[in-house]
C-alpha cells in the first residue's frame, strides 16, 4: 500500500472517531466508546469503508507503546518498588489464578486441553491502555486502588512474553524443556534490553544533550521525546518482546532524568493520536454478524469474565493484607480482557489452537468488556465505599504496626496526620520539636506506618474514610487534622467524616491541583494547601530574590 492510501485510511478513521467521540462526550460517556464504535462501523465486517486496515492496525500498536512510555515517566523505579508486593506477587498470582480457573472451566465445557490453556492465557490479561487512560482522565492514578491497578497491569504486560512463548510452543507441540529454554532466552533478552537502554539513556544522552545544548537547541528535546519511545519499542520488538514493554522500560529509566518533564509534555499529542487509532483498530476486528447470531453466548461469557476477574483480583489483593474497599475497587477496574490478549489470540489462531468461531468470540468479548470498562472504572470507587462501609476490617485497625499498642483512650489537643508519604513526613519533621508526643499518624500500608514509628510517632494502620478509624484517632478532641494524601475524592470523604465527628476541629488538606481546591473547601476543609499555587508563590519568591541580587550587583557596579 502506498503512503497516500494509508493516510486516507487514517483520516477516515480519525474523522469518524472525532464525531462519535464527541457524541459520547455529549452524553457523558467515555470517548473511548466512540473510538471503538468508529472502528466497528468502518471495519470490513460492517460498512467496510476503509480501503485496507492493515496499516492502521500496525500504526495503532505505537499507541500502546507511547502510552506506557508516558506512564513510565510518571513511575520511577522508586515508586515502582513502593508498590512492589501487590504488583509482583499480586500480579503474578492474578495471572496464574485467572488463567488456571479459565482453563478449568473450558475443560469442563469440553474444549481440548491446549485450547483451554490458550483461553486461560487470553482471559488472564486486562487492558493497560484503557484502564490507564481512564484513571489518568479521572485523576485516580494516585489513588490507593489506582496504584494497585497500575502495578498489576505492569506485571501483566511483562507476563505477555512468557504467555506468548507458551502458546507458541503448545501450537508446535513442544515439550516442557522447550518452554523452559524459551523463557530463559526471554529473560536474557530482557536483561540485554534494559542494560542497553540504561547505558544509552543514563550515560550517553546526558553527554550528548547537556544543559547548554538543550537550552540552545530547543528542538532537540522534542526529537528525543519521539526517538526514545519509538527506538525502545523497535528494540523490544527485535528481541521478541512487546514493543510497549520496551517503551515502558525507557520511560522508567528516563523518569529520574532532567529531561523527563519536557519529554512528557512533548509526547502527549503523539500519544493521544496513536491511542485513538489503537482503540479504533480494536473496533475494526469486530464481527457484528457473528455477535448477532451468538449474542446469548457472548453475554454469558462477558458476564463470567467481568464477575470472575473482579472476584479473583479482589481476593488476590486482599491476600496481601490490603483493605476490602481498595481491593474491590482494583478488582472492578481490572475486570476486562486486554489489548495484549489479542496478540495471544492471534498466535493461538495461527497455531491452530483455536478456530475462527472461537477467535470471533474472543474479539467480541474483548470489545464488549472494553466497552464496559469506563462504567466499571467510574463504579469502582462507589462500590468500594459501599462495601468498605458495610464490612468490618481486621482488628489491626485499632493497633499500630506488628500488633503494637495503638492510641491511649484519653488523648487531647493532638495533631492527626492522614498519610505518611513525603508530604506527611515533612509535616511531622517540622512539628516534632513542638508536638512530638502529640502527633498521630494513620496509614493504610503497614510499611509506611512502621516508618512513622521509626520517627518516634504513634501510628495506626487503617482507612481514614471509616468512622471507627477516626474515632480511634480521637479526632473529636484533636487540635488539627492534616490530610496529605494526593487523591482528591478520598480526601473529600475524609474531610466529610471528620467534620461530622468533630465540627470544631481544624482541618488542613493538601490539593495537588488547583481545580480540586473548591471541592475540598466545600467538603469542610478550613485550609487547603494548593500545590500549584504554592509552587507559583515559591517561584515568584525566587524571581524576586534573583532580581534583587541582580539589582544589588548593578548598584555596586555603578
Burial call 362-382: b when 16+ CB within 10 Å, e when fewer: bbbbbbbbbbbbbebbeebbe
Predicted confidence at residue 53, as pLDDT, reads 58
Is the pLDDT at 193 greater than 60, yes or no? yes
Distance CA 292, CA 287 (A): 9
Task: Looking at mean pLDDT, say which of 27-31, 50-54, 147-151, 176-180 comes out highest.
Answer: 147-151
pLDDT tops 50 at residue 111: yes
In 502-541, which positions are buried (b, 16+ CB within 10 angstroms) versus exposed (e)?
A: beebebbbbbbeeebbebbeebbbeebbbbeeeeeeeeee
Say if residue 169 is exposed, middle or buried (CB neighbours under 10 Å; 0-12, 13-18, 19+). Answer: buried
Structure confidence by residue, pLDDT tens digits, 281-315: 888 878 888 999 999 999 999 999 999 999 999 99
Q: Which bin fits 402, alpha (ψ -120 to 50), beta or left (φ > 0)?
A: left
CATH class of the domain whose range is 395-540 = alpha beta
**CA gap 23, 341 in Å, rounded:** 29
Each residue's pLDDT tens digit, 459-501: 887 778 877 788 888 888 888 999 998 888 888 889 988 998 8
All cell numbers assigned to 434: 513542638
Alpha helices in 351-401 (DSSP H): 356-390
- Rounded Cα distance, 120 and 47, in Å: 33
Residue 71 pLDDT > 80 = no
Of 154-163, 319-328, 412-421, 540-549, minimum mean pLDDT range: 154-163
Secondary structure of 64-110 in HEC code, one letter for each residue? HHHHHHHHHHHCCHHHHHHCHHHHHHHHHHHHHHHHHHHHHHHHHCC
Residues in Cβ contact with 548 at an 8 Å cutoff, skipping those fewer than 6 apart: none
pLDDT at 397: 43
The answer to whether the predicted template modeling score (pTM) of the entire model surpasses 0.75 is: no
Q: Average the pLDDT over 213-221 and give the result.
A: 58
Q: Cβ neighbours of residue 63 under 8 Å, at least 6 residues apart? A: 129, 271, 273, 274, 275, 276, 277, 278, 279
Ordered by start, the domain boundaries in the chain are 3-57+77-170+268-390, 395-540
For residue 276, what pLDDT is reported? Answer: 82
Which of 352-361, 398-407, 435-444 is the least confident region?
398-407
Q: Is the pLDDT of residue 78 over 70?
A: no
The pLDDT tens digits of the residues spanning 225-268 come to 778 888 888 888 887 776 777 787 788 777 766 666 667 667 77
Per-residue pLDDT at 398? 39
Across 27-36, 50-59, 243-252, least confident range: 50-59
Per-residue confidence (pLDDT) for residue 263, from 0 to 100 = 73
What separation in angstroms does the CA of 385 have from each of 145, 147, 306, 420, 494? 12, 17, 20, 22, 12
Biggest alpha carbon–alpha carbon distance for the chain: 93
Kindly calculate the radius of gyration of the chain based on its CA atoms and give it in whole angstroms: 26
Looking at domain 3-57+77-170+268-390, its CATH class is: mainly alpha
Q: Is 134:30 a contact under the CB 8 Å cutoff? A: yes
Give the single-character DSSP code of 203. I
All cell numbers assigned to 548: 534583587
Report the mean per-residue pLDDT for the chain: 80
DSSP state of 46: T
Strand order in the sheet with 439-443: 458-461, 439-443, 415-418, 480-483, 506-511, 527-530
What is the Cα–Cα distance from 399 to 393, expressed in whole angstroms?
12
Bridge partners of 480, per DSSP, are 415, 506
CA dihedral sign, ordered 142, 148, 149, 151: positive
Amino acid at each position: 500500500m502506498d503512503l497516500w492510501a494509508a493516510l486516507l485510511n487514517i483520516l477516515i478513521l480519525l474523522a469518524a472517531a472525532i464525531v462519535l467521540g464527541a457524541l459520547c462526550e455529549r452524553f457523558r460517556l467515555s470517548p473511548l466508546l466512540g473510538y471503538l464504535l468508529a472502528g466497528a462501523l468502518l471495519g470490513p465486517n460492517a460498512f467496510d469503508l476503509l480501503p485496507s486496515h492493515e496499516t492502521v492496525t500496525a500504526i495503532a500498536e505505537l499507541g500502546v507503546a507511547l502510552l506506557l512510555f508516558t506512564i513510565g515517566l510518571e513511575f520511577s523505579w522508586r515508586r515502582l518498588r513502593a508498590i512492589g508486593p501487590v504488583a509482583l506477587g499480586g500480579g503474578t498470582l492474578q495471572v496464574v489464578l485467572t488463567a488456571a480457573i479459565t482453563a478449568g472451566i473450558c475443560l469442563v465445557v469440553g474444549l481440548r486441553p491446549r485450547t483451554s490453556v490458550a483461553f486461560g492465557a487470553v482471559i488472564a490479561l486486562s487492558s493497560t491502555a484503557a484502564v490507564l487512560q481512564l484513571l489518568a482522565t479521572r485523576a485516580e492514578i494516585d489513588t490507593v486502588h489506582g496504584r494497585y491497578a497500575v502495578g498489576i497491569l505492569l506485571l501483566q504486560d511483562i507476563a505477555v512474553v512468557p504467555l506468548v512463548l507458551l502458546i507458541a510452543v503448545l501450537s508446535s507441540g513442544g515439550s516442557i524443556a522447550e518452554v523452559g529454554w524459551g523463557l530463559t532466552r526471554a529473560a536474557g533478552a530482557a536483561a540485554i534490553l534494559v542494560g542497553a537502554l540504561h547505558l544509552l539513556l543514563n550515560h550517553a544522552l546526558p553527554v550528548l544533550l547537556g544543559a547548554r545544548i538543550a537550552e540552545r537547541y530547543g528542538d532537540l528535546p522534542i526529537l528525543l521525546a519521539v526517538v526514545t519511545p519509538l527506538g525502545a519499542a523497535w528494540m523490544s520488538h527485535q528481541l521478541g518482546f512487546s514493543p510497549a514493554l520496551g517503551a515502558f522500560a525507557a520511560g522508567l529509566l528516563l523518569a529520574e532524568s532532567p529531561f523527563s518533564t519536557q519529554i512528557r509534555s512533548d509526547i502527549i499529542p503523539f500519544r493521544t493520536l496513536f491511542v485513538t487509532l489503537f482503540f479504533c483498530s480494536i473496533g475494526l476486528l469486530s464481527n457484528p454478524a457473528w455477535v448477532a447470531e451468538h449474542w446469548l453466548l457472548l453475554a454469558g461469557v462477558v458476564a463470567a469474565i467481568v464477575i470472575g476477574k473482579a472476584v479473583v483480583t479482589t481476593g488476590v489483593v486482599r491476600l496481601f493484607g490490603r483493605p476490602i474497599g481498595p481491593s474491590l475497587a482494583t478488582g472492578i477496574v481490572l475486570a476486562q480482557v486486554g489489548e495484549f490478549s489479542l496478540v495471544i489470540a492471534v498466535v493461538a489462531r495461527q497455531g491452530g489452537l483455536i478456530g475462527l468461531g472461537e477467535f470471533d468470540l474472543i474479539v467480541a468479548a474483548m470489545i464488549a468488556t472494553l466497552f464496559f470498562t469506563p462504567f466499571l472504572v467510574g463504579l469502582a470507587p462507589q462500590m468500594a465505599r459501599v462495601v468498605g462501609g458495610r464490612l468490618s476490617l481486621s482488628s489491626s485497625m485499632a493497633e499500630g504496626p506488628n500488633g503494637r499498642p495503638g492510641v491511649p483512650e484519653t488523648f487531647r489537643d493532638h495533631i492527626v496526620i492522614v498519610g505518611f508519604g513525603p508530604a506527611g513526613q515533612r509535616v511531622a519533621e517540622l512539628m516534632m520539636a513542638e508536638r512530638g508526643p502529640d502527633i498521630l499518624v494513620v496509614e493504610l500500608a503497614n510499611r509506611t506506618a512502621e516508618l512513622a514509628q521509626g520517627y518516634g510517632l504513634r501510628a495506626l494502620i487503617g482507612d481514614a474514610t471509616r468512622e471507627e478509624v477516626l474515632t480511634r484517632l480521637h479526632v473529636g478532641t484533636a487540635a488539627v487534622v492534616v490530610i496529605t494524601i494526593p487523591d482528591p475524592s478520598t480526601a473529600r470523604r475524609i474531610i466529610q467524616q471528620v467534620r461530622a465527628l468533630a465540627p470544631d476541629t481544624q482541618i488542613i488538606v493538601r490539593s495537588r491541583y488547583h481545580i480540586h481546591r473548591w471541592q475540598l473547601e466545600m467538603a469542610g476543609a478550613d485550609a487547603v494547601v494548593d500545590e500549584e499555587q504554592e509552587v507559583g508563590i515559591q517561584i515568584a519568591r525566587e524571581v524576586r530574590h534573583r532580581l534583587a541580587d541582580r539589582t544589588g550587583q548593578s548598584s555596586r557596579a555603578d
